[in-house]
Amino acid sequence: MVAGHQHGQDHLARELPLRESIVTVDDALRRGTSVDDLLAVAERQQRWPGIRRAHAAIAFGDPASESVLESIARSVFAAAGLPAPLLQVQFFDGVGWMLERVDFWWPWFRTVGEADGLAKYEAKTPQERRRLLRKSHRRDQRLADRGVELVHFRWEDVVDPRSDLIARLRSAFARGQARPGDPPRWRVVPPPHADAA
């Protein structure tokens, strides 16, 4: 990554509120900037205003966070005291590895969180949108059949302080912990640029 872009990312991480700074850092990491590169830029700006916020965002950053909604959701989960979820996880459905990934996975609670952003079901035709929705419902059913709790959420759930998202997740955690038997098999899917590193 070019130094100018790293400087721009770090500048934004210093100037923006922490939640938005995390979005900026996640984006930089997803595009292949290393944590060391971001820290090097921050080190050169050690006396600048907002540097603590930039360091906090860099420490919290995750290249597996694939969208602004996922990044903001992670910050909301952390602020509410929830344990950090694993990101971009595939499940074994008894026959093979499911091609679809889930956004968030709390294995200790057998709970999946799905960020339903606007682009997830965008389609050129109504028929294509229905196909995407059916595919999503089939995937959800396959996960439920494996004893997984699912919590879907949208933008308004993470930006509205009156949202019941955290309460819904905690309820799912309690139900998931109470389930008998072994949890489903799963694996984390590495970010695309991780293979190139």
pLDDT at 1: 38
Q: 91 with 111, same domain? A: yes
Q: 106 with 156, same domain? A: yes
Query: Which amino acid does the sequence have at 151?
Result: V
pLDDT at 3: 46
pLDDT over threshold 50, residue 57: yes
As for how many domains the chain has, the answer is 2
Long-range contacts of 189-196 (CB under 8 A, 24+ apart): 189/88, 189/89, 189/90, 189/101, 190/64, 191/30, 191/63, 191/64, 191/88, 193/30, 193/31, 193/32, 193/63, 194/63, 196/32
Q: Which residue has the higher pLDDT, 187 or 167?
A: 167
Q: State pTM to two decimals.
A: 0.83
Q: 35 with 18, same domain? A: yes
* 196 — pLDDT class (breaks 50, 70, 90): very low
Domain CATH for 116: 3.40.960.10
- Angle of CA points 52, 57, 62, to nearest 5°: 155
Q: What's the whole-number mean pLDDT along residues 149-175?
A: 96
Q: Which of 43, 60, 77 is the last residue of a domain?
A: 60
* 2 — pLDDT class (breaks 50, 70, 90): very low
Q: What's the whole-number mean pLDDT along residues 90-103?
A: 85
* 68 — pLDDT class (breaks 50, 70, 90): very high
d(CA 47, CA 70): 31
* 45 — pLDDT class (breaks 50, 70, 90): confident
Q: What's the whole-number mean pLDDT along residues 128-155?
A: 90
pLDDT at 26: 94
pLDDT over threshold 90, residue 72: yes
| Whole-number average pLDDT of the chain | 85
Parent domain of 114: 68-193
Q: 45 with 76, same domain? A: no
d(CA 19, CA 53): 10
Q: Which of 11, 37, 60 is the last residue of a domain?
A: 60
